[in-house]
Each structure stands twice: as C-alpha cells, then as structure tokens.
Structure 1
Amino acid sequence: MANAASGMAVHDECKLKFLELKTKRTHRFIVFKIEEKQKQVIVEKVGDPTRSYEDFTASLPADECRYAVYDFDFVTEENCQKSRIFFIAWSPDTSRVRSKMIYASSKDRFKRELDGIQVDLQATDPTEMGLDVIKSRAS
C-alpha cells in the first residue's frame, strides 16, 4: 500500500520488528531506510537489547537520512523503572535535498504504521538527539 504523497510502501518486516521491540523487547533500536528504487521503507539495522545509546547513534549514517526507533530505559525521580519508545527522523544537513524531501513527506504515514511510539524527535545533527535531549524528553 503506497503513500499518495510520496509513493512509499512500508515493508512488513518494519512492522514486525517494531512489534518485537515494543512487546518482547528483543531489540534496543531499529534503523529504517527508504529504498528509493523499490519505493518502500525497509529495516536496515537492528540493535539487540545490550546495545548502548552510543551504539545506536553510531549506526546512523553521517550524511544520509534515516528513520529510527529507540527503546529508552530510565529511572524516574520517584525511582520507578520506565521505558519510552522514541521515533527519530534523522535528516542531517549534509544529506541530499531529494532524500530529505522524500523522508519528510513519508514520515507521518510511516509513523502511523508503528503503533506505540511515545516520543517524536526530529534531528539534523547529533546534538539534537544527544542523550541529554533523550533524557529530558523521556520524563
């Protein structure tokens, strides 16, 4: 099923991996890539639960757009263990304009396919999605 705005379909594996992250917690993060030739969003990389936030940010290309989902665990001021699922639209300033446009126009529909996202974040450089930003947005 393609998106009228951008013509992008969402591969079933995207929804499957997200469901695993959300319900079974078998992944710490998932990086999604738009395959322009096939006109669909696919899973590019999956990080297991032992991976750190640094592992996650290192898996994003420096000059290409990506969508990513990160399962962030934290402890509240009341000392409760909690988790938030972040959706990150990574669109570095150095990426191609066409790529930025395709990712921007497909984002909302793709996000709707992933039911259970709690925090939405847009980042054009690594400082916009630093661990401090994630921590402040989680609470």
Structure 2
Amino acid sequence: MIRSDDTGKLVLRVALGVLILLHGIAKISGGVGFVSTMLASHGLPGALAYLVYVGEIIAPVLLIIGLYTRPAAWIVVINMLVAVWLVHMKQIGLLNKQGGWELELQGMFFFSALAVAFMGAGRFSIGGSGGRYN
C-alpha cells in the first residue's frame, strides 16, 4: 500500500476536479441561463454567468492534471461562495431530513478546494510539487 501525502493530494484533487467538472459539463449542454437570471436578480450583469465555465470547466481540468493547482482551487472556492450567495443563502443554517447540513455538498466542494489551495498539487501532477503555483 502506498502511503504518502502526495497520494492523498492526488485523490483529493482528482475527486474535486471530476465532481465539479460534471456540473460544468451539464452547463455546457444546458447553458448558463439560470445563473444569468440569478445574477440579474441581484443587480449584476447576466453576462457574468459565463464565468461559471472558468469555475466549473477550466479550473477543474487544471485541478485534475495538477497545473496551476492553487489558483484553480481558489477559483473553485470563489465559485462556491458565489453559488451559495446566489442560490443557497436561505439554506445556510438548515439541516436536511437525515440530520445533515442542507449545504453539505457545497460545503464539501468549498472546503476541499480550500484544502487543495493551501496544500498544493503534490508530486503526482503535471506541475510537480516544486512548482510555484502547485
């Protein structure tokens, strides 16, 4: 069995990247109209919705391959904060029927991205562990 911090970083990076990327792929096929509407309801330009592709396509791909990992993770952190602000603010203090937090998925994405932002990519990455942005 391989035991290393780098293996743990790889697992966390790839899991986070793949799971966020799936949301991005859904937005490629379904569009960002919902996000645009939510932004407009908060008085922001709807065109900002296209930034969701950065947070849910580009950043996750960078996380998966391990290139510019720290900036990509910070983008996911920001993406999750905006998603909670736009859509989930009323659920912040609520528990679901099973006793878990209503926002446990968003919380897991947020805190996983935050951990990657602080830890970096590790040596099992294109950028390597010594890269300034990994």
TM range (shorter): under 0.3
Larger Cα Rg: Structure 1 or Structure 2? Answer: 2
TM-score (norm 2): 0.27
Q: Which has the higher contact order (CA 8 A, sep 6+)?
A: 2
TM-score (norm 1): 0.27
- Structure having the larger proportion of residues in helix: 2
